[in-house]
Amino acid sequence: MKPDYKNWVPKGMLFSLVAGTALSFALLLIFGVFGIGVSGKLRIALGVVFGIAFVICAKYTEWCVHAYRSFSYDGERKLSKQIIEGTAHYVTLPEGGVGLDVGCGSGALTIACAKRNPQGKMIGIDRWGKEYASFSLTLCKKNAAAEGVKNISFQRGNAVKLDFPDESFDAVTSNYVYHNITGEDKQALLLETLRVLKKGGTFSIHDLMSERRYGDMQAFVQKLREMGYERVELIDTTTGKFMAPKEAKRLMLHGSTLLVGRK
């Protein structure tokens, strides 16, 4: 049995865009090109409307197909796998230690961290909302079983307010989660995750940390250092770490950054 980590681009969105492109093209032909049942200014207007709709749908479909292929675990690029393994690289657990993956989705990062740290245990949490219907608690458990990973567990949780006491974990990690949480201060979300990290514990958090979303991250790093964090580092993952600048721009992943270190 192979694990199924799904794709970060939902199939439903891909199918909807393909259907929208086909429909807008068909309507363009019917009303704009052949003028079936319409004529004059109305034909021109409909031709323009459906022509614009076709161009927009076609461009988004092209992007979606490219992104789907790039993120696929079974494709040639395997960008998702590279990001997951690269993020997990910075997670270190002591003997008997426990780590937390916030927003675990299909369990990929939780499992990668557990495999790298057989001496410890990983816990993955997620709210598994309807907007990500392909991800679920059951899927995470199946993927762990498929990978033969037993030092792991999954449960429901909310990144905005973690249901754990201060300094509960020896490591915390997350990948492309916080930018999806609307209406919340992103630096506050980082602090909430780091709140449950023990003194001396490691952290590895990857997200779209552009200034527009996150504010001044250099100032945030300095704040953590002033709070007594042993090591804090920001790593731009769009300059060859995980992807090239051109690829990051095309996939709309500019701002992808790793926040790593030790408390």
Shared domain for 100 and 157, answered yes or no, is: yes
Shared domain for 111 and 226, answered yes or no, is: yes
Which of 53, 71, 89 lies at the terminal end of a domain, its last residue?
71
Residues of the domain holding 32? 11-71
Shared domain for 90 and 207, answered yes or no, is: yes
User: In this structure, are residues 220 and 212 in contact, taking their beta carbons and an 8 Å threshold?
Assistant: no
CA pair distance 1, 33, nearest whole angstrom: 51
Which of 47, 71, 95 lies at the terminal end of a domain, its last residue?
71
- 5 within some domain: no
- 139 within some domain: yes
- 161 within some domain: yes
User: In this structure, are residues 180 and 105 in contact, taking their beta carbons and an 8 Å threshold?
Assistant: no
Domain with residue 110: its CATH number is 3.40.50.150
Domain count of the fold of the chain: 2
pTM over 0.75: yes
The pair of structure tokens assigned to 223 is: 């704040």
Q: Which residues of the chain have pLDDT under 50?
A: none
pLDDT at position 232, please?
98
- 4 within some domain: no
Shared domain for 134 and 168, answered yes or no, is: yes
- 123 within some domain: yes
Buried b (16+ CB within 10 A) or exposed e, 30-48: ebbeeeeebeeeebeebbe
Shared domain for 63 and 102, answered yes or no, is: no
- 2 within some domain: no
Which residues in 65-196 belong to E strands, given as ranges?
98-102, 121-126, 152-156, 169-175
pLDDT at position 4, please?
94
- 219 within some domain: yes
Type of residue at 187: Q
Shared domain for 53 and 110, answered yes or no, is: no
pLDDT at position 126, please?
97
Shared domain for 149 and 37, answered yes or no, is: no
The pair of structure tokens assigned to 59 is: 């461009």
